[in-house]
Structure 1
């Protein structure tokens, strides 16, 4: 029994060892201050290029966030994500009244003598005039002008993208009835009509100074050039005062890129041919684009990006493009960027057609990447610091769903944008530049480190002492049995 208790104590002591081995700010060479202007439970920021360049690993496994007390806070690393831009436009339509007898034209009828009209159109298909068809004596036109208002024809021929129409909004005179019931049809030739929406209920109510209204008809886009509104009850057909369509379009916006300063090509590579230039980065980075600095004047440079292998026959082409700048009077055509696949790349070769290469001293390239997103918990007191530059650090990022309850769902905790200072603080450089003795420059965090070392020593001695006691107990128990 005593032996079992001793082993349990030893296991418990061993389990407490990792708790003392916590990441410390001094273990990371580069620190970048984080600015948090608004109090929030979580913050989100884009990892700056300075963090990528100072990291000991291209995948940022050594990235940490520390609070004002020097304690690491939980964080999640997300891939760069774009956004969707919604654009809403409103366009006014011209309308033309339709008159006819209700008995001759039941609701929903697509052919009715009472609604036969004469149409005048411009060359682009837009309507100029719609009027009742006249008989030989002209009595049809007179009867038609006195007939009840049945509906309207709306001219949508000038809308460039009718498939993007999401709503039709109507307005009518104040003398009309509070409720309107109508059908909406479409046609491309003003002869054959197709139903779009049936039994639309519109309303406009004023009571005690308050207004309740529904003047919008939902549409899921249409192809035809004309719309027709037919009222179910001609006696309640109003006089329109406006008709507008609402177009909604969306486009995907890629995540913004972060660009580096121009890099010079490596020198002294004997395996390169004329027009080939090798570039090396400190660590593999997920490059999305390259930008070549073009000399002044008109330029045309066919370029190719390759990944070199041990032998030239193993070189692999990554991308081809043509960088150019062409000026004609006051207009300029230019392209200096080369799109890349976006995966980690540390070394590559730029090949320029030697027949068209004006860069006698070699090209300068800037690279761009889509920075990862970082979400961290506002644990402890600010200010917070982004730290990188520890080759021995392991990946400590959590999953977004683990870090933020209900991440991405309505009602989840608020995540506020934060920013990172552009200038990094080099911890190692500051220590080296200081001429004072270690005792004089000892910081509170270093004092805490000494305390932890002392705790480690006490713990180790305690474990050894407990082991000796266990050994004595086991030896004594064996002697008693003998």
Structure 2
């Protein structure tokens, strides 16, 4: 009987080994149904190449952040060659100049019916500005820009350097510019400045952005006017630097809104449906005329732990808002905001993420209609570089019209976003069968041991 049992066990092990060693040949011919979603493309001209503006849905519904699961099919169900690329960013250059600083004393007075304020320096420089009776003005500083090549540089930013104070403080300052000390134009109103300490961390907002979407004039003079109810009395400005930024990238972005979960009066979590390679984050207070110092953390997936991202102050004052937070290629699925020594009243800050717009060009092989599809976790990258798809020498004369788009269709559905490859399926089967083999083998050994023990008990002493 023992030999019969051993023979059955060997037979069963042979069948398991044959099953584990067998692997079905995967079907490498993809079809649109292998992908979650698709959109028919409308190509009326008979051109060899067409450009496609990707629907916004693509950015949130691809299974991979790098969009490797994009395909273009023709009417025969065959994939056609395509290129996926981003707009090339221009090189950004910065140059800075130290500015001469002249502290000014204020003397309010009236010139007819118009209230004015005259600002005088110890060296005799005098500046006269109209005075708004509804606003109070405090300390004022005159800045002189050095001349360069018979002109004055067009400054984009002013960076202030001050002696660090033992206490936290926030202030607001307005900026004027003038070519001759006589005619003055208000550039920025109530720009925020702050120097906050929380434990060993320091949050510094010391730069005023002058661009505001406009071309900056070549001004010789700038004037900083602090609000008298916000400026620390012992604030010592040691230097002011003018910064010119040229060659800013004219990049196109697609904006993706997150789901928001308020955790407390000073903490909120913002999450996206899938990890995103954001280029920048736009964060601003929900209330107007507000300044919020924030600590920002991020995670790359739902199972990831939180990592520090940045500490910064965001503001929304009049029609001015803080600049977006530029990122360095971090993959972000969620962020968490914490107020630094401050709570936000009512709604938490408003957040959105921006990633670069991707562009697609495909070769119209076969017959129309063509279909753009996306959303397949098992897909490998097939996109070519633009120069590989289209020889660079033909770019100048080649016509590439835009393909129209119909409505987005559901093809394989959302389950394709988490699909597994054939190799992964075989691996899961093999792992499951291996565990089953180990469990059955252990059970067999237990039964064999019990049988041996019983036989020993039956033998006469």
Query: Where on the TM-score scale, by shorter chain, does this alignment land: which range?
Result: 0.3 to 0.5
Give the TM-score taking structure 1 as reference length: 0.43
Which protein is bigger by CA-based radius of gyration?
1
Q: Which TM-score applies when normalising by structure 2? A: 0.44
